[in-house]
Amino acid sequence: MSYAVPTLKRTAFSTSRLLDFVSEKELTLQCGYGRPDWALVVVKELVDNALDACEEQGIAPEITVTIDEASITVSDNGMGIPPDVVGRLLDFSIRVSSREAYVAPDRGAQGNALKTIVAMPFVIDGEEGRVDICGGGILNEIAFSVDRIAQRPVADVTRSEANGSFVRVNWPAEASFDHPDGRPFLQERDGAHLGWLAQGFAFLNPHLTLTINSFGKTWTFEATDPTWAKWRPSTPTCPHWYEPEHLERLLGAYITHDRQAGATVERTVREFVSEFKGLTATAKQKTVLAATGLSRAPLSALLTPDGRDFDHDRVKHLLAVMKEQAKPVRPVTLGAIGRAHIEARFEQIGIITESFEYRKISTLDDGLPQVTEVAFAALDDHDAERELFTGVNWSAAWVNPFRQLGGYGRSLDTMLTKQRFEQDQPVVVLVHVAHPRVQYADRGKSTVLAR
């Protein structure tokens, strides 16, 4: 006797991949750090954003970080995130950034930092996450959850009029503010925690006044020089900082932005060229356009006939002529933290004054400027351990980013060990690098790759 074998005709389902973004694994990949360090990620990214915003407005940044049992809040004296940008930040199908497409000495070019921050409270809570963003006179109260059927994130936003500039991340009560090694999340001069990160920002930014309020404890790092200047995010970038693939990335970003905005008049090559340092003069622009045959041409003239790719030879030629007409930016233009500020910060943590040493190295390599600052001093507490402050482009780090320096086991730690500055030595060391084209080993910007 025979029986028919049941069969299943499988259906090819189409499901959204947007939900991939709101998982612990994906967030770890995006921000570069595991869940125990997410609170520090929130503080670092929000302070970076606040510093950039204030510098773009030409004001000395005054930033306050407030932490209590229920939230992490970073406020500043800038204008805040505009409401229209908040709306785009909540679209998880796109990346929103005013940094990523440009080549410049920016604090961050992750391109999705605020998206990760919005998603983190939900991933920790499992049911809902809440984030408040205030800027441009509007308070956006965001309730973040997931549509389990459609497999997509859902952000319900309530808007009301409000003053100020801040981002408040409502951290779930069950999320511990303690680090896995048992040390308090906030402890002044404690290696991997907020106190250390706060000091790092204060060390690298002379114009910054930074206040920390955490569980009833408050301290402030007053700016040592509110008029201190560096390369601003609003400063035109230099064509010498770009290779053809970088220029194509920027061109593509402009073309796509204009299309999405429904622009009726296409951006011209001349308008594009005029935004670069050294090419703002009309005569320079005319020379570039004449040499490339792109006078009055729109950006689409740099595309292939089907509009789906770049005419790589033409873009390469354009960049070469732009470099010919613009001088490389000197390292001094990037700015330096300076000996006086670093020495003042060192003295605040207690050093033997006569042991202080500072060195600044400025180089220009194939049009790419770099300023490296290194400082050292012996701590007056002979029982203390080494304190190491590091940063890239004025952004502080709680994990040493100089862990891969060209192979052969080279790293900042090995270099310090060779100089007998081991972890158990009572010394303080600062290393900061400013460079327009930093290469990272991961998207979270936790490890710098040496050039």
Same-domain pairing of 92 and 208? yes
The residue among 391 and 451 whose pLDDT is bigger is 391
Antiparallel, parallel or unpaired: β 395-397 and 368-378: unpaired
Among 185-199, 295-309, 334-348, which is the least confidently predicted range?
185-199
Rounded Cα distance between 418 and 411, Å, is 11
How far apart CA 73 and CA 63 sit, in angstroms, is 10
Q: Residue 404: what pLDDT? A: 62
Domain end residue (candidates: 325, 358, 375)? 325
Q: Is the dihedral of CA 271, 277, 281, 282 positive or negative?
A: negative
Inside any domain, residue 7: no
Distances (CA, A) of 96 to 24, 176, 232, 239, 296: 21, 30, 20, 23, 30
Q: Give the closest residue to 256 by CA, choosing from 443, 94, 81.
A: 94
DSSP-assigned letters across all residues of 154-211: EEEEEEEE--S-EEEEE--TTS-SS-TTS--S--TT-TTSHHHHHHHHHHH-TT-EEE
pLDDT of residue 139 exceeding 90: yes
Please state, in angstroms and rounded to a whole number, the distance separating the CA atoms of residues 135 and 81: 5
In sequence order, what are the beta bridge partners of 212? 65, 219
Check whether residue 164 and residue 58 sit in a common domain.
yes
Max mean pLDDT range (254-268, 307-321, 429-443)? 307-321
Task: Determine the pLDDT at residue 416.
Answer: 67
Structural domains in the chain (count): 3
Residue 153 in any domain: the answer is: yes
CB atoms within 10 A of CB 229: 11
Is the pLDDT at 45 greater than 50, yes or no? yes
Q: What does the pLDDT look like over 154-201, one tens digit per residue?
A: 899 999 999 999 999 998 655 544 444 444 444 433 334 777 888 899
Asked if 217 and 189 sit in the same domain, the reply is yes
Range with the lowest mean pLDDT among 20-29, 206-215, 280-289, 294-303?
Answer: 20-29
List the domain range (segments joined by +) for residue 280.
Answer: 239-325
Q: Are 46 and 78 in contact (CB under 8 A)?
A: no
Greater model confidence, 420 or 152: 152
Q: Are residues 257 and 357 in the same domain?
A: no
Q: Which of 325, 359, 380 is the last residue of a domain?
A: 325
Phi-psi region of 432 (alpha: psi -120 to 50; beta: other; left: phi over 0): beta
pLDDT of residue 22: 83
Helix (H) or strand (E) run with residue 62 in it: strand 62-67
402 and 268 part of one domain: no
**What is the CATH classification number for the domain harbouring 81?**
3.30.565.10
> What are the two backbone dihedrals, phi and then psi, of residue 288, each rounded to the nearest 5 degrees?
-65, -45
Lowest mean pLDDT among 108-122, 140-154, 317-331: 108-122
* 78 and 141 assigned to the same domain: yes
| Structural domain contains residue 10 | no
Q: What confidence score (pLDDT) does residue 125 get?
A: 87
Same domain for 39 and 186, yes or no, is yes
Q: Looking at the domain assignment, is residue 278 inside a domain? A: yes
Please give the pLDDT value at position 419.
64
Sign of the C-alpha dihedral computed for residues 338, 227, 390 and 410 taken in this order: negative
Domain co-membership, 271 together with 340: no
Quick one: 375 and 307 in the same domain? no
Whether residue 188 is found in the same domain as residue 43: yes
**What pLDDT does residue 183 have?**
41
94 CB-near residues (< 8 Å, 6+ apart): 88
In a domain, 1, yes or no: no
The CATH number for 362's domain is 3.30.230.10
- 86-137 confidence digits (pLDDT tens): 888 887 766 656 667 899 998 865 556 888 899 999 999 888 899 999 999 9
Q: Is 291 helix (H, G, I), strand (E, B) or coil?
A: helix
Residue 13 domain flag: no
Q: How far is the C-alpha of 67 from the C-alpha of 73, rounded, in Å?
A: 6
Per-residue pLDDT at 110: 57
- More confident call, 222 vs 367: 222
How far lies 381's CA from each of 2, 195, 426, in Å?
88, 19, 7
Q: Residue 450 above 60 pLDDT?
A: no
Domain boundary among 296, 325, 354: 325
